[in-house]
Amino acid sequence: MSEPLTRTRLIRTLNQTIRILLMLATTFLGLLLITFLIGRIVPIDPVLAVVGDKASPQVYEKARIAMGLHLPLWKQFLIYIGNVVTGDFGTSVLTANPVIDDILRVFPATFELAITATIMGILSGIPLGIFSAVKQGSFFDHVTRVIGLFGYSLPIFWLGLLALMFFYVRLDLLPGPGRVDLFYEGIVTPVTGILMIDSIIAGEWEIFRNAVYHLILPASLLGYYSMAYLSRMTRSFMIEQLRQEYILTARVKGVKEWKVIWGHALGNCAIPLITVIALSFGSLLEGSVLTETVFAWPGLGLYLTNSLLNADMNAVLGSTIVVGAIFLGVNLFSDVLYKVMDPRAR
């Protein structure tokens, strides 16, 4: 295309990028504001928690100034932002580690779980959704919809407990809670934090197999919910596309039916599906909180609930910010991908 056109296109993309970044920044700031405020509405006096209730007024005042609590609220907030951006979430009351270290240590476990579950969801949910849409109204369609419906109605902690009871206790098919058997814990040096990859790197095949076995049940649990969501959305998108006129055009041309569905129709669904998959991943991060509790999976979710039960506010808020940030990142990523892939949005 001609010169001025590429320049205006460049300016336009720059404009869009700046706008997106601005939106991202303001949303993240809003997130921080909310967590900051939550931290301030705690009924426990944070100074007392540090100095103890036997301290003299002078010690109390010194501690208060040291913690920056004498400053006006907005100044405190600015300091808070500065801290967060540099990764300082404070120290965990429970583990006495910097919260950020704790989070970095536990997050890979959750990531492993969520990614595996998302992949399972994609591989099962999308084809199911397509078949459902093509054979709309058939028995298969109804069965799929029922399975999907259950995915929206079953409490995940309950299903997890039942699955554990069934597959672990009754059938002894799969291992119980935890990431690996107690026997194997701590042998593999964490490189990525993802046990499966680390154990391969270390060449410990027994541990690898054990880790995979442990992963199956919690990942399948989350994967089921992902599948329910993805199959429903895929079905909805596909039905919408199959109604369009260009599908008729393809058939008039004599395109084979499978190509009409998997090529033309699915091709048009791909773009909104990416957004949906990103959303699914995000909601799996949420679902992992309860899943990790049931399966004693040492990830961010378990860390969050433990901190909660021990009133470790720094850890709780730190985890909340991290998950919120990931959510934002994932949504941003899917938005960008959407713009890149959809020719109409360019």
* Least distance (Å) between residue 333 CB and another protein: 14
- Alpha-carbon distance of 221 to 9, in angstroms, equals 46
Residue closer to another protein (CB basis): 132 or 199:
132
**Closer residue to another protein (CB): 195 or 238:** 238
Which range binds another protein by CB under 8 A, 3-11, 99-107, 153-161, 180-188?
Answer: 153-161
- The Cα-based distances of 245 to 41, 137, 248, 343 in angstroms read 56, 21, 5, 19
Question: How near is the Cβ of 236 to another protein at its closest, in Å?
Answer: 6
Nearest distance, CB of residue 43 and another protein, angstroms = 7
Half-sphere exposure of 263 (CA within 13 A, CB side): 10
CA separation (Å) from 262 to 122, 163, 186? 15, 34, 46
Q: Between helices 139-153 and 205-242, what is the axis angle to 10°?
A: 120
255 binds another protein (CB under 8 A): yes
Tell whether residue 94 is a contact of another protein (CB under 8 A). no
* Residue 283: exposure state from Cβ atoms within 10 A (0-12, 13-18, ≥19): middle
170/297 Cα distance (integer angstroms): 21
* Touching another protein, residues 214-253 (CB under 8 A): 235-236, 239-240, 244-246, 248-253
- Looking at the Cβ atoms of 79 and 146, the one nearer to another protein is 146
Tell me if 38 contacts another protein by CB under 8 A: yes
Per CB under 8 A, the list member of 92, 110, 226, 319 interacting with another protein is 319
Interaction between residue 12 and another protein (CB under 8 A): no
Q: How far is the CB of 216 from another protein (least distance, A)?
A: 20
Tokens of 43: 């009924």
For another protein, the closer of residues 125 and 282 by Cβ is 282
CB 320 within 8 A of CB 33: no
Residue 39 lies near another protein (rule: CB under 8 A): yes
Strand partners, 91: 98
Footprint on residues 283-312 left by another protein (CB under 8 A): 283, 285-286, 289-290, 293, 304-305, 307-309, 311
Give 250's DSSP letter. Answer: H
Name the β-bridge partners of 98. 91
**Does position 34 bind another protein by CB under 8 A?**
yes
Q: What string marks each residue from 173 to 212 as x (binds another protein by CB under 8 A) or -?
A: ----------------------------------------
Question: With the CA atoms of 231, 237, 241 and 242 taken in that order, what torsion angle do they form, in degrees rounded to the nearest 10?
Answer: 30
Taking CA atoms, 278 is separated from 122, 163, 241, 326, in Å, by 11, 26, 21, 11
4 touching another protein, by CB under 8 A: no
Q: Name the residue nearer to another protein (CB basis): 69 or 200.
A: 69
Mark the segment that binds another protein (CB under 8 A) among 102-110, 180-188, 203-211, 266-274: 266-274
Q: Two tokens at 123?
A: 């591989």
For the CB of residue 114, give the shortest distance to another protein in the complex, in Å: 12
Q: How far is the CB of 261 from another protein (least distance, A)?
A: 13
